[in-house]
Chain A
């Protein structure tokens, strides 16, 4: 083997590895994440807030922010109950939740959001249970300001029409295009 190309190859490879190692310290998501974090987690500063090395996302790290007590205080009673049942059944967070599918993606697995994720920006809500109570596969509407506003809105914003929002709001803005 010719020594010069071998030396050059080794130098280039070491340089690439060093650049990746250096960049990983200040922009790990750009180098390693399979997709952008959702709007719910976009303020997280480091990968190890959720990921345990060689074990993946760990429930023990989720509950640092999403403790049972905090869930009971902030979430609707049905949501807190369903989480308690899930945990009691020995299922981890990843049984129902996912991440890295983009800022507007839903992070709860299961039936797709029938309104589309634009609903959260349009109504300035952040979760299904801001407007709905979902229990045993059935949902009922809460009597919130948002729900009342949509119910009293003009035809285009009536329930059942919202999934078609991008027909008028083509660029995702509040103004009609």
Chain B
């Protein structure tokens, strides 16, 4: 349990540090409070890159759902986690703390909820993986390699009921986030031009 608490503290610290750094970068590159980075061409590029990384994070759930259904892939899960943190971090650089229009504000809130629910999922995932240590021992006794054991345990965690319930928080929030992001981008192109 001590290890799990350590993970929670580590994740929380990383989240706070990432958001603080993103806002500091945005402030540094903004020309005064009335010329925020997000309203400049460079700010738009940062937003597009952030969105591309977030789109890459969606490769993992799409691979699981769309045919041919791929088996649980730890590599894509790692890509999902990395892009799910790096993309939103860039979006924070893009947005700064200049919150005015309601649609992008709602998209930003949805993004924060998706990332937070993702981090909660990671903690649940980690906790379940720990509780499956007994099965790990059994698999070891059956002579499986470390990599095979890791793959098998990840698959088992995915099947646990608690994880299934959590996915009904993370998934719908992600769908809402995509919708609001599409609205924000469409609105920005509609009013601001290409």
Contact check, A8 vs B100: say whether CB atoms are below 8 A apart. no
Assign chain B's interface to a size class. Answer: 20 to 34
Q: Among the listed stretches B12-20, B78-86, B126-134, B167-175, which one makes contact with chain A, having 4 or more residues with CB under 8 Å of it?
A: B167-175
A76 CB to nearest B CB, Å: 25
In the complex, A105 Cα to B193 Cα: how many Å? 23
Chain A facing B: main interface SS: mixed
Contact check, A5 vs B172: say whether CB atoms are below 8 A apart. yes
Contact check, B168 vs A5: say whether CB atoms are below 8 A apart. yes
Contact check, A51 vs B191: say whether CB atoms are below 8 A apart. yes
Residue B183 at the chain A interface, CB threshold 8 Å: yes
Residue B39 at the chain A interface, CB threshold 8 Å: yes
A155 CB to nearest B CB, Å: 29
In the complex, A1 Cα to B172 Cα: how many Å? 12
Residue A166 at the chain B interface, CB threshold 8 Å: no
Residues of chain B within 8 A (CB-CB) of A47 are: 191
Which of B34, B98, B176, B191 has most chain A Cβ within 10 Å? B191
- Given A13-B176, A33-B100, A34-B101, check contact A20 B183 (CB 8 Å): yes
CB contact list, A25-63 vs B, under 8 A:
30-36, 47, 51-57
Contact check, B179 vs A34: say whether CB atoms are below 8 A apart. no
Residue A142 at the chain B interface, CB threshold 8 Å: no
A49 CB to nearest B CB, Å: 12
Contact check, A54 vs B187: say whether CB atoms are below 8 A apart. no
Residue A9 at the chain B interface, CB threshold 8 Å: yes
Residues of chain B within 8 A (CB-CB) of A141 are: none
Contact check, A31 vs B102: say whether CB atoms are below 8 A apart. yes
Residues of chain A within 8 A (CB-CB) of B102 are: 23, 30-32
- Given A5-B172, A12-B172, check contact A20 B35 (CB 8 Å): no
Contact check, B34 vs A56: say whether CB atoms are below 8 A apart. no
Question: Of B65, B103, B176, B192, which one neighbours A56 at CB under 8 angstroms?
Answer: B192
Residue B189 at the chain A interface, CB threshold 8 Å: yes
Residues of chain B within 8 A (CB-CB) of A57 are: 193
Question: Of B32, B35, B38, B103, which one neighbours A32 at CB under 8 angstroms?
Answer: B103
Which chain B residue shows the least CB distance to A53?
B190
Which chain B residue shows the least CB distance to A9?
B172
Residue B194 at the chain A interface, CB threshold 8 Å: yes
Residues of chain A within 8 A (CB-CB) of B171 are: 5, 9
Residues of A near any B CB (own CB < 8 A)? 1-2, 5, 8-9, 12-13, 16-17, 20, 23, 30-36, 47, 51-57, 100-102, 105, 112
Instruction: Name 6 interchain pairs, CB-CB below 8 A, sorted by A.
Output: A9-B172, A13-B175, A31-B101, A34-B100, A55-B194, A101-B34
